[in-house]
Amino acid sequence: MDKRQKFMERVEKKRDELIALTQDLIRIPTLNPPGEYYRDICEYLDKRLARLGFETELVRAHGTPGDSDKYPRWNIVARYQGAHAGECVHFNSHIDVVEVGQGWSMDPFGGELLDGKIYGRGACDMKGGLATSIIAVEAFLEVWPNFSGAIEISGTADEETGGFGGVAYLSEQGYFSPARVQHVIIPEPLHKDRVCLGHRGVFWAEIETHGRIAHGSMPFLGDCAVRHMGAVMAEMEASLFPALAKKRTDMPVIPEGAKQSTMNINSIHGGQAVPEPGFTGLPSAVVPDSCKMIIDRRFLMEENIEDVEGELRHMLEKIKSERKDFSYDFTPIHSVNPTMTDKAAPVVTTVAAAIEAVLHKKAEYVVSPGTYDQKHIDRIGRMKNCIAYGPGILDLAHQPDEYIEVADMLDSAKVMGLALAELLTGKPAKP
């Protein structure tokens, strides 16, 4: 029998093991924030991977945002050295999950299996993907024990809050340097038939308008900062949002609505703070002297960050020239450049061929609307041969009753294993 065929049968036989592993991972409630149970999940993965013959290392990201003795930022990096020299393929999954939220009909940390779906917070984003990569590697090692090169699996902290205590830290320590790792696959839930090449860019900023405090019965003696912010919003509606909608991209971003520049207004706060729940007093009569807005602008390969910032500053200057007593502060908070791996990169062509071999259809190339840990691997690690590929439906991420389909995980495990076979044994993924 062809080894590739044998490998795919091995994966099918591991169905129960895959389910149990995914359930175990979901049942460790690694909520972030604050970043709970990182050590527990790393120890669980440590045991599992050491049993397979991996050399493992637990790495605490000391001093990164959120790291404390109460909530230490633990990561695991595991490496399996092959029989001969060769390249290294690295599977990176984040171990953290976002808050549960309202509206669940299932236990969010129960990992229940119902009609071929496993439910729970993190099921698709991305403990299902992590479990899939482990099962894929297990089956691969059984069929190709004498492969060349190395396989690495990492479980990393804090992706949901920027990745600074996870992949960013490991990149700074050299774990993703091109000398150590040549191919990176991040099993985020982009769907089993899609290769995700990268993501759009991010620019966050705070806009503050200033006013002058006065008695609310005589607002003409003060200057209302909230009304000034109203002028900012009016200008955004009149000129900025229509301009952003016209900026289209050649990046294959999904969903369709994200194939352009976008901007979200995250929050506006002006005047008195919202009282504590249970406070029964009345508000006081005061003209607000400050109003703050946080904006989240997503940008394209075709734009650069200076232009994105300049466009916003230009808009604010225009309002200032037209509106009496308008004054503002503009403070950039956070930015990430867009990134997109070349379609001809070896990890891309290999995974695409494996998708075709397993699913008998052409792979779809996509770009994510939001960022993920690829940004650190690209910027700090200088590793350009990186994609996101994994089972699950992106829309379910962060939603109530999040789930992952077992059949999708099995298909993705086959794709991952055939990609390993091509990259580490020279066997083309497509017979």
Check residue 402 for interaction with Zn ion (CB under 5 A): no
Contact set for Zn ion, span 181-210 (CB under 5 A)? 188
Give the whole-angstrom CA distance, residue 121 versus residue 407.
19
Q: List all residues 6 or more positions away from 322 whose beta carbon is below 8 Å from its beta carbon.
A: none
- Residue whose structure tokens are 């439906």: 393
What x/- string results for residues 330 through 369 when contact with Zn ion is judged by CB under 5 A?
----------------------------------------
Cα of 336 vs its chain's centroid, Å? 13
C-beta of 159: minimal distance to Zn ion in Å? 6
Considering beta carbons, is residue 4 or 192 the nearer one to Zn ion?
A: 192
Choice between 125 and 405, CB closer to Zn ion? 125
Residue 68 in tokens: 């404390």
For the chain, give me the number of helices (H) and strands (E)?
11, 16
Number of chain positions touching Zn ion (CB under 5 A): 3
**Closer of 98 and 406 to Zn ion (Cβ):** 98
Residue where the block lists tokens 């080894």: 3
State which H helix or E strand residue 95 sits in.
Answer: none
74 or 372: whose CB is closer to Zn ion?
372
Binding mask 275-304 for Zn ion (x = CB under 5 A): ------------------------------
Bridge partner list, 365:
195
* Beta-bridge partner residues of 345: none
* Separation between Cα atoms, residue 84 and residue 98, nearest integer Å: 41
**Interior CA angle at 392 toward 386 and 398, to 5°?**
95
> Does 26 help bind Zn ion (rule: CB under 5 A)?
no
Which of 188, 223 has the CB closer to Zn ion? 188
The encoded tokens of residue 297 equal 């602008």
| x/- letters, 79..98, toward Zn ion (CB under 5 A) | --------------------
Give me the 117-156 binding string for Zn ion, x by CB under 5 A, dash otherwise: --------xx------------------------------
Binding site for Zn ion (CB under 5 A): 125-126, 188
